[in-house]
Amino acid sequence: MKRILCALMIGLLIPAALAEEKTAEQMVAAKKRADMTYRQLMEIMGTASAMIHQGIIRENKQMVVQGADMITNHPAPNHQPWIIVPEEDRASFKQTLLAFDKILDDQTARVATAAGSADWQGAARAAQELTSACIACHAQWKHKVK
């Protein structure tokens, strides 16, 4: 009985773990690689976010669009992003990376669209939601970095 259960669990869990790794790895592989660490990438994210906010205040569409583009089309770091957290947290961090990749894409698209049509209040609201997404991941992960 134990053996059957064990085989069943291995049969179910290993493919799930492999599928998950592949998906996170595919996401990273689809991006251009840049010679920088995950933290350096985050510094760029911070600059991009500042550009978005400055652009909205100045009503400078191009500044907002370029800031949004830096986030949407950000390159991958020169290491697998999940190595920054302890081994036991990596599967979970991969899921977070996958989820937030899509969330950031959606939010930056909304910011850029609103700014593109000079809807500055709408752009400000969308930028606030984008910032909330950044903060949500930080709340969960920033202190777990090795």
Q: Which residues bind ligand HEC (CB under 6 A)?
A: 38-39, 42-43, 45-46, 49, 71, 84, 96-97, 100, 104, 130, 134, 137-138, 141-142, 145
Find the shortest distance in angstroms from Cβ 138 to ligand HEC: 5
d(C-alpha 69, C-alpha 25), whole Å: 22
Q: Which residues contact 98 (CB under 8 A, 6 or more apart)?
A: 23, 24, 27
> What's the Cα-to-Cα distance from 27 to each of 8, 23, 53, 86, rounded to whole Å?
29, 6, 28, 21
Using the structure block, give the residue that is written with the tokens 């999940």.
82
Find the shortest distance in angstroms from Cβ 66 to ligand HEC: 14
Find the shortest distance in angstroms from Cβ 92 to ligand HEC: 11
Smaller CB separation from ligand HEC, 38 or 61? 38
Find the shortest distance in angstroms from Cβ 12 to ligand HEC: 27
Smaller CB separation from ligand HEC, 49 or 61? 49
Q: Which residues contact 97 (CB under 8 A, 6 or more apart)?
A: 24, 27, 28, 81, 82
Smaller CB separation from ligand HEC, 61 or 108? 108
